[in-house]
């Protein structure tokens, strides 16, 4: 997750929400079929288990905790820049060993991770030479790894290597992280046209992965917030058909899922935003499922940031989000962000998204999410859940109007 931009919020009353124009699903007829079971194929939490700060003991502790929470999966970032540091096809044996151990440890606990490929190695980066400086020194601190690859074929080869090695032992392979995100000139994907660049990366990687692991789901998007505008741009650039699911990070800021919210800012709302993304997908002829690969709340000190919530609220809100997602038959997975606090500063927004503290003291979210995961786990494919879903009609509630 990246630091989120702040914005002005207009608080609505419940009555005002009823005038937002949000479409509400209603049974098509009195004799409609019973609702589909509220289930999800994959439930889990984001880990940063491959970061160098993690000891083997840390990884074991984190995997054990996920198993205790009844997770089926977890999401972990795999840095291409660390996997192939020294050149095309040259594998860093130390990083490979750590990734091997993580996947093996997951397998022994009945977990199948989602691996997210991020960051371009310096040799493959499109960063200008004035920034790369011959890949000398701490080039990562100069932002070199955030630049898009100069060749999509190199990215496809990296994705293919990961898919071939781990294949059926992982739940999905996700291509990059938040390519749409940019704030104050900072982005996880630096390119003149991020939509065109990312679509080209996906279109190159998908067939390469399928050649070596035909059954492995490939996820594209990894959208920061419910960014339907960027998704439309990806469709316009021909990305549809080059993935098996659209991944989204529908953060709900500090609010409970489904709380009253100004419809004009649907992008920043869990329910409104995901509903809009799904509508855009259907309009584009995209029937692949949605994967929620990040969604969380930070327990930073109240007053430090609008995003800060109490530990009790974090657990309650995340459990509610899981159950809400499970009620949508077009959602395949939910991954909370994240397992362990990144730091120990009470005033830091980013440090405190963890379900456990830096010292592994559990917050209420561990028990709350564990109960929610146990309630919604399933092995039924999304296609089956879609077939079980009742026919619905949409009822427009009228245009949004600001009172006063």
Q: For the beta carbon of residue 211, count every other beta carbon within 10 angstroms.
A: 12
> Is residue 175 a part of any domain in this protein?
yes
**pTM for this predicted structure:** 0.87
pLDDT per residue as tens digits for the range 237-266: 999 999 999 999 999 999 999 999 999 999
> Is residue 133 a part of any domain in this protein?
yes
Task: Flag whether pLDDT at 17 surpasses 50.
Answer: no
Task: Flag whether pLDDT at 8 surpasses 50.
Answer: no
> Residue 256 to residues 62, 103, 207, 260, 291: CA-CA distances in angstroms?
27, 34, 40, 9, 20
Task: Extract the runs of DSSP E, i.e. beta strands, from 255-388.
Answer: 290-292, 331-336
Strand partners, 73: 44
Rounded Cα–Cα distance for residues 350 and 335 (Å): 17
What CATH number is associated with residue 101?
A: 3.20.20.80
User: Across residues 288-317, what is the average pLDDT?
Assistant: 97
> Is residue 57 a part of any domain in this protein?
yes
Domain that holds residue 360: 40-390
Q: Which residue has the higher pLDDT, 30 or 213?
A: 213
Rounded Cα–Cα distance for residues 385 and 49 (Å): 32
> Is residue 333 a part of any domain in this protein?
yes
Task: Flag whether pLDDT at 382 surpasses 70.
Answer: no
Strand partners, 24: 395
Rounded Cα–Cα distance for residues 145 and 122 (Å): 6
pLDDT per residue as tens digits for the range 225-244: 999 999 999 999 999 999 99
User: Across residues 214-222, what is the average pLDDT?
Assistant: 98
- For residues 238 and 192, the answer to whether their CB atoms sit within 8 Å is no
Task: Flag whether pLDDT at 400 surpasses 60.
Answer: no
Q: Burial letters for 312-347: b for 16+ Cβ neighbours within 10 Å, e otherwise?
A: ebbbbbbbbbbbbbbebbbbbbbbbbbbbbbeeeee
**70, HSE (Cβ side, Cα atoms, 13 Å):** 14
Q: Determine the longest span between alpha carbons in the chain, in angstroms.
A: 69
Q: Nearest 5 degrees, angle CA 280-CA 283-CA 284? A: 90
Strand partners, 149: 125
**149, HSE (Cβ side, Cα atoms, 13 Å):** 29
Given this model, what pLDDT does residue 384 score?
53
Task: State phi, psi for 322 to the nearest 5 degrees.
Answer: -60, -45
- Domain count of the chain? 1
Q: What pLDDT band is residue 359 in, cutting at 50, 70 and 90?
A: very high
In percent, the amount of the chain with pLDDT more than 90 equals 83
Can you give the C-alpha Rg of the chain in angstroms? 21
Q: 288: closest CA among 345, 219, 198?
A: 219
DSSP state of 38: -
Given this model, what pLDDT does residue 30 score?
36
Given this model, what pLDDT does residue 24 score?
36
For the chain, first and last CA: distance in Å?
37
Task: Flag whether pLDDT at 378 surpasses 90.
Answer: no
Q: What pLDDT band is residue 186 in, cutting at 50, 70 and 90?
A: confident
Rounded Cα–Cα distance for residues 177 and 187 (Å): 10
Residue identified by tokens 């609220």 is 313
> Is residue 18 a part of any domain in this protein?
no
Given this model, what pLDDT does residue 184 score?
81
Q: Is 7 helix (H, G, I), strand (E, B) or coil?
A: coil
* Sequence-distant (≥ 6) Cβ neighbours of residue 378 within 8 angstroms: 37, 39, 40, 41, 385
- What's CA 90's distance to the chain center, in Å? 29
Task: Flag whether pLDDT at 25 surpasses 80.
Answer: no
> Residue 248 to residues 200, 222, 381, 388: CA-CA distances in angstroms?
19, 5, 19, 24
Rounded Cα–Cα distance for residues 47 and 62 (Å): 8
Structure tokens at 19: 């005038």
Residue identified by tokens 């009823």 is 18
> Is residue 322 a part of any domain in this protein?
yes
> Is residue 280 a part of any domain in this protein?
yes
Given this model, what pLDDT does residue 38 score?
82
Task: Flag whether pLDDT at 320 surpasses 60.
Answer: yes
């Amino acid at each position: 997750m990246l630091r989120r931009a702040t914005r002005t919020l207009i608080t609505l009353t419940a009555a005002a929400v009823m005038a937002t124009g949000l479409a509400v699903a209603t049974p098509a007829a009195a004799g409609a079929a019973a609702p589909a079971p509220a289930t999800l194929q994959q439930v889990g939490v984001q880990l940063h288990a491959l970061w160098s700060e993690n000891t083997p003991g840390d990884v074991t502790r984190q995997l054990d905790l996920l198993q205790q929470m009844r997770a089926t999966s977890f999401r972990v970032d795999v840095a291409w820049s660390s996997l192939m540091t020294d050149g095309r096809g040259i594998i860093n044996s130390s990083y490979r060993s750590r990734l091997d151990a993580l996947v093996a440890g997951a397998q022994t606990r009945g977990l199948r991770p989602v691996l997210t490929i991020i960051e371009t190695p310096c040799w493959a980066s499109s960063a200008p030479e004035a920034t790369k400086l011959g890949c000398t020194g701490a080039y990562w601190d100069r932002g070199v790894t955030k630049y898009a690859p100069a060749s999509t074929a190199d990215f496809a080869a990296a994705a293919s290597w990961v898919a071939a090695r781990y294949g059926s032992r992982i739940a999905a392979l996700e291509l990059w992280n938040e390519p749409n995100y940019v704030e104050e000139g900072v982005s996880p994907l630096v390119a003149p046209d991020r939509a065109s660049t990312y679509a080209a990366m996906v279109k190159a990687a998908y067939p390469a992965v399928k050649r070596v692991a035909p059954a492995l789901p490939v996820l594209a998007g990894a959208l920061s917030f419910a960014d339907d505008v960027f998704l439309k741009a990806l469709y316009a650039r021909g990305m549809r058909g080059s993935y098996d699911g659209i991944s989204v990070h529908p953060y709900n800021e500090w609010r409970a899922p489904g709380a009253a919210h100004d419809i004009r800012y649907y992008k920043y709302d869990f329910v409104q935003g995901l509903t809009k993304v799904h509508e855009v997908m259907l309009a584009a002829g995209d029937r692949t499922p949605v994967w929620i690969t990040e969604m969380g709340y930070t327990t930073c000190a109240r007053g430090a940031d609008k995003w800060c919530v109490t530990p009790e609220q974090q657990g309650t809100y995340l459990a509610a989000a899981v159950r809400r997602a499970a009620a949508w038959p077009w959602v395949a997975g939910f991954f909370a962000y994240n397992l362990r606090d990144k730091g120990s500063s009470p005033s830091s927004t980013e440090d405190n998204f963890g379900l456990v503290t830096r010292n592994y003291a559990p917050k209420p979210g561990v028990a709350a999410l564990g109960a929610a995961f146990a309630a919604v786990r399933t092995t039924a494919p999304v296609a089956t859940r879609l077939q079980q879903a009742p026919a619905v009609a949409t009822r427009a509630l009228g245009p949004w109007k600001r009172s006063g």
